[in-house]
Structure formats: structure tokens, C-alpha cells
Chain A
Amino acid sequence: MIQVLTFYLFASIMIAAGAFTILARNPVHSVLWLIVAFFNAAGLMVLAGAEFIAMLLVIVYVGAVAVLFLFVVMMLDIDFAELRAGFIKNFPLGLAVAVVLLAEIVLGMGAYRAGALELGTPDGSGAAPAGASNIEAIGALLYSKYLFLFEAAGIILLVAMVGAIVLTHRQRGGVRGQNIAQQIARRPEEAVVNTQPEVGKGVSL
């Protein structure tokens, strides 16, 4: 009973937050509503017993993606009113796409329920060890059986980083970078000048 109640609580807040995300006038509010939706989705995942995905949602989506959105919204000069201008005009088209997607889901689920779709049987290579929490299960697979691919994926990320730096890093002239050795080695005599200016006359440096 309490589970059902919690489910409906999270689910309804999430749908409401999703609706506010697209309806809010202020883009910053949109992003904040999105964060609310992510948190509630994480709650739903915990209810479903997938605590690892729940944590990923909070860490990756709330911690990184949503903050990135906030940065984009605040830093870039985007005219959101203009972006929203075609809303009424394109509304029927959007509705049609939504109806098609809904029909696809209903038909797909219907066909699967009716037994028309024969899916493959899992070969058991990804089966979780009995009694392990799903973080443990994922870790056990990722760091033993799939270690090779895990490391290879790490190299992909490294290549992506190297690529981003290669394509964007430039050495510009006129930049006052730090030269720590030189800064520390500076003597007072080089930096400080004692003068006794006469009254009414300025100093020339």
C-alpha cells in the first residue's frame, strides 16, 4: 500500500514537473523544474529496485547535465520568446507525432502481450550473482568479465579529450601567464622604489 502511494506521489510530481518544464516562461525555472523531474524519476527507480540507476540519475543528470543546462541558459544570449513563437503553428504537427509514438507503444506492448513477438532468451552471461545488490552485480561484471571493454571505453574517453584539446587549444600572444620561479626570485630592489617627491609635484615612474 505504502509503495503504491509513493509510486503515485513520485509519478504525479514527475509528470507535473515535466509539464512545467515546457510551460514555464522563464528558462531558468524550466531547468529547475527539470531537476525536480529528475529527482522524482530517481525516486521511481529506487521503488523499482534499481538503486544504481537512481544514483546515476542524481549524479549525472542533476549534478552534471542540469547544471550544464543552467550554464547554457544563463551564459548564452538566447531569445526564448522567439524560439517559442512557432508553438501554436506547429502544435498540430507535434500532437500528431505524439499520437503516432503513443500508438506505436500501445501496438508494440499489445503485440508482445498477445504473444506475437518472440524475443530471444537471455543467455545468462549477464545474470546477477544471487543475493547481490545491483551495484555489486554491475561491479562484479564490469570489473571482471567486461574489464577489457571497460578499459577500452576509458581509452575512448581519453581520445575524446585529446581530440577536444587538439581542436580548440590555441597558444595566444599577449597572455600574462604566471612564471612562478621568476615571481619568487624577484628582489625588493627591483620592485620597490623610494622617492621623496616635493610638495605639489607628482611622481614620475
Chain B
Amino acid sequence: MDFVQSFRLAAPEVLFSLSGLILLLASAWTRSDRGARVITWLTIAVLVIGGAMIAPALANGAAGPDTLAFSALFTASAFAAFAKLLIIAAAAASLVIAPAYFQRLGAYRNEYPVLVLFAVLGMCLMVSSTNLLSLYIGLELNSLAAYVLAAFLRNDDRSAEAGLKYFVLGSLASGILLFGISLTYGFAGTIGYDGIAAALTGKISTGAVFGLVFVFAGLAFKISAVPFHMWTPDVYEGSPTPVTTFFASAPKVAALALTVIVAIEAFGNQIAAWQPIVVFAALASIVIGALGAIGQTNLKRLLAYSSINNVGFLLIGLAAATPQGVAGMLVYLAIYTAMTIGGFVAVLMLKDADGNPVESLADIAGLSRHRKVLAACIAMIMFSLAGIPPLFGFWGKFVVFQAAVEAGHIWLAAIGIAASVIGAFYYLKVVKVMYFDEPAMKAVGHSDWMHQALLGLCAVAISPLGYLLTKPLGALAATAAGALFIP
């Protein structure tokens, strides 16, 4: 085994773990707000350097046996690189907004950026996994850090509740996943994805189908797809908003990419077995995500249902089970990340005169009168999430549906499009409340310039200007998806 070659391929992950350890030591000796901010920016710098190290793999379209490291336990393929870049961007964005939020509450600690860094490391392992063991280790590393982050405001009851709920339900999901993994191992005789694909061909036994179903159930929990979505609104509402921004973006990207890897690489010869599961989860997520959001009065809960809804659309790309479908899903994933970060940053910027967060829908009534730019940005994000044409959100839905139609799932696309109309209702309701209702004059507080800059960036990315990106983004997604479909 060539360790040098392995370390070269896994260099970003090695960088993350080593700098995580060093920053952890550094944070033990700095106990001031200034020190915490310095550590946050150092973490962001590490993430950016890691991203720069990952980018070449995507540009070169790395695939095949040359990308395998550590006796084929790890792969640095183009698909993994695409997912990692999204994860790193999302994690860096949620780190940028964190200090201002926590320091107002006097609750910022040095461990926050370090835990985010370790969570990113876990997610990188997830999307680079080539067997069920590295999948599980990566998932647990990410989840453990996430449980702590959810409860980071430990003196706040809602945050503690969110952390506990997430922990209990997450452990249950891990148990289900492990049960599925053990059944799959028992019936395939191996934990490597390629070995499983080779062992499970043709008609498979009931036990193997059970294993497959349990694995997908565990993964469905992690991506919060219906019927395993119940934790999402509670955890998203209770967690501190920067943490919610993180949850809705980076781990979601990682878990969705992981689901694609498992579906295509490990169970690639059993498409008929998992396709109904994915189709059901996709349609149910779209419908329940849309219907559940209608009654919500809290903006974070509303965005949580919106993310369930979006997972449904993303899964339509997977249900197509073609390279085009996966590429479309990756494009949508990139756009979704921009939209969801923008959405939660906008929520973060809503503060009353004393600087307390404002989260309810009634409180932003008439926001357009006194915070014109913020209201315009929120309106743009809502229109984009609803998939209304001039905005970039439309393109994501378009490529996914196009792939589904090309793969012959016309009815799937038709139901999806019909159900997206339900979703449009509550997105438009937010816009209506902001622009046409009597001003509540609640959200009048000033926001941090960092938040404004990030929101501006997201707004530009999802504006019609985003269409300039369709070509390069599409090409990169196609390269990444191509790396996955090598037989």
C-alpha cells in the first residue's frame, strides 16, 4: 500500500483534521471574544485552502481506480470533489455569520468553529466513502458535531431541546442504518460498494431487500425526506439561527450526495428495488413539505418545511437514475445551497430595536416600507424557492424535471410540477405579508455588515445573473456525475 499516494489524495481531509486539532489546542488558551473571532477566521481560511486543494480533482474529472486511497476505503473522485466544494462553501458561510449572532448573546466560544471544522471533515469522509464502513464513520463524525452545535446555546431551553431531540432521533436513525448495513453485509458478503454491486445482481433475496430498505430509511432521515422528516422543523426552529443555516445547507448536501453514491454505486444493479422508495420519498416530501409549510407562523419552521419540499425535488433527479438526473440534482443542489443560506441569513438579519431576533411571520408585515433592500432580497429568495422563471431557482427545477422526462418518468415530473404549485402558495404568502400588509414595525434593528454582504452575494447568485453560470455549472455537474457512473 502506498501511503504517500494515499495521503496526497486525502490531503484536504488530513489538513482539516490536523488544523482542527491545532485550533482546538489554540482555543484552550484563548478565552476572549477576540480570540474566538480569530479562530473563526482561521477556520474559514483552512476551509478555503482545503477547497483550493479539492478543486483540481473536479476540474480534471478525476475518476476510476487512480482516485482510491487507503486500500480503497476513500475516493477523491470528481463527484466527491463537487459535493465537498459545496459543503465547504456552505460551512464557511455559516461560520462567517456566527460570531455576530453569538457574541450579542455572550455565548460564543472557541469550540464552535472547531466543531464545524470536524463536522466538515465528517461530511468529506461521507461523500468520499467507497464502502459502508467509511460511510458510517463519516456520518457519525458529522452527526456528533451537529448534535452539539444544535444545543450550543445551552442556557436556552429551545436550543437544548433541539439538541436532545436531534440526538435521540439521530441515534435511532443511525441504528436503523446500521441494521441495514449489517443485513447488506450478511447477504452481499462485503462492505465495499463495488463488491455489493457485484454480489447483488439479478433477483435478490428478501433479506437483501430488507437491508436495502433499512439503509435507505436511515439515509432518508439524514436528508429529512418524508416520512422521516418530523425532526426537521423542531430542530431547525430550536437551534441557533447560524447553526440552522449550517444544518439546512452543508449536511444536507453531504447526505444527499451520500444517498446518490449508495444508490448508484452500491445498489446500481438494483435500481428497480430502490426506485419506488425514492419516487415515494420524493413525491411525499414535495407534497408534505408544501402542505406543512402553509400553517406555519415561524419563519424558521417555514424554511424547514421548504427544505423538506426541496429535498423532494432533488430526489426526483435521483429517481431518474441516469447521469443526466444526477447532474441535474447537483446543479439544483448548488442553487439550493445559495437559496437556503440566503433565506436563513435574511431571517438572521430580522431584529427588533433592541437587537433581539424576530422570527414570526406576523412581525415582518410591511417590511418593505422600512427595510426596502432586505424585503426585496427575501422576496427574491422566496420567488426563487418557488421556482418562478426569471430567477435561478427555476433553472434547478427545470434541469431535474428535464432529466426525469428524458428518463421516461413523465408522470413523476408531472406530479412534481403540479405539487410545486402548492409550494408557491406559502412562498408568495411571505411576499404578500411583507409588501401588502399593514407595517408591524417590529424588525427595525440594524444588521451586521457581514450578514448584509453574504445576503447580497446569495441574492446576486440566484438573480437572473445566475444564468451566466448555467454553462460552467452544468459542465462541472456533468463531469461529477460522469465520475459516478463509471462501470
Contacts and interface: CB of A to CB of B under 8 A. Distances in A.
Contacts of B161: none
A23 interface: no
A103 interface: no
A119 interface: yes
Interface string A98-127: 000000000000000000011111110100
Contacts, number: 92
Contacts of A149: 73, 133-134, 137
B56 interface: no
B190 A123 contact: yes
A166 B121 CA distance: 19
Interface residues of B, number: 45
A165 B24 CA distance: 12
Contacts of B188: 120
Contact of A159 (B115, B125, B185): B115
A46 interface: no
A163 B115 contact: yes
B1 A144 contact: yes
Nearest to B154: A167
Given A146-B73, A149-B133, A122 B189 contact: yes
B118 interface: yes
B195 A123 contact: yes
The secondary structure that dominates the B interface is helix
A167 B137 contact: no
A153 interface: yes
A155 B151 contact: no
Interface in B177-215: 185-190, 192, 195, 199, 205, 207
A155 B118 contact: yes
Contact of B187 (A119, A148, A151, A163): A119
A166 B141 contact: no
B313 interface: no
B342 interface: no
A167 B125 contact: no
Interface stretch (B142-150, B248-256, B266-274, B393-401): B142-150
Interface in B435-466: none
Interface in A27-75: none
B180 to A, nearest CB: 15
Given A123-B195, A155-B121, A167 B151 contact: yes
A120 B190 contact: yes
B328 interface: no
B144 A156 contact: yes
A22 interface: no
Contact of B71 (A119, A145, A152): A145
Interface string B148-187: 1001101000000001000000000000000000000111
Contacts of B147: 163
A104 to B, nearest CB: 13
Contact of B125 (A122, A123, A146, A152): A152
Given A144-B1, A159-B141, A120 B73 contact: no
A147 B140 CA distance: 17
B109 interface: yes
B28 to A, nearest CB: 10
Contact of A152 (B141, B145, B148): B141
Contact of B189 (A119, A145, A166): A119
24 contacts: A118-B205, A119-B189, A120-B186, A120-B190, A125-B192, A145-B73, A146-B71, A148-B71, A148-B134, A149-B133, A152-B141, A155-B20, A156-B137, A159-B141, A159-B145, A159-B148, A162-B24, A162-B114, A163-B115, A163-B144, A163-B147, A166-B148, A167-B151, A167-B154
| Interface pairs A-B: 10 shortest CB-CB | A120-B189, A163-B148, A148-B70, A123-B190, A120-B188, A121-B189, A166-B111, A152-B137, A145-B71, A156-B141
